[in-house]
Amino acid sequence: MIGRGIVAGFVATVVLSAMMLMKHSMGLMPELDPIAMIAGMAGASSPAVGWIGHFVIGTVLWGIGFAIVSPYLPGAYWLRGTIFAVGAWLMMMMIVMMPIAGAGPFGLSLSMMTPVAALVLHIVFGLALGGIYGLLGNKQGSIAGYLR
């Protein structure tokens, strides 16, 4: 169960990272830079510190957290992952990352679109997290594990 969560968390973090890199390369919302925020909160200037923190949070914290909470969430695994990710988004936006990084609740001091963009990224993360977790638990290895 925990191992499944870690693997699913890692894959979901890779998917999220690809989306973040695409967002960055298109010049969309440059003010929303979680990697720089994580590095800054760690007191580092290197983006490598931000990327390491990003992968540790997504793989270990959220992967294990999902493995523990998933049995108590309703629906198919993709829906469970989405519900879990929306909860993580709320925590990040209201309590942890945005306020600690000085962006205020929901990151509204960055822009009005910050909460929306962050929510979209978290939903994609949750879909991948739950979907991969479901596939890994399916003994037949079919898409049915994703849909259950």
61-94 pLDDT tens trace: 999 999 999 999 999 999 999 999 999 999 888 8
Per-residue pLDDT of the chain (148 residues; tens, 9 = 90+): 899 999 999 999 999 999 999 988 898 887 778 888 889 888 898 999 999 999 999 999 999 999 999 999 999 999 999 999 999 999 888 887 777 777 777 777 777 888 888 899 999 999 999 999 999 987 655 555 445 5
The residue type at 98: M
d(CA 29, CA 141): 38
Q: What is the pTM of this model?
A: 0.85
d(CA 115, CA 31): 12
Q: What are the Cα distances from residue 16, in Å, to 6, 10, 57, 92, 138?
A: 15, 10, 12, 15, 23
**Residue ranges per structural domain of the chain:** 2-147
The residue type at 20: M
**Residues in contact with 20: Cβ distance below 8 Å, sequence separation at least 6, in sequence order:** 34, 35, 121
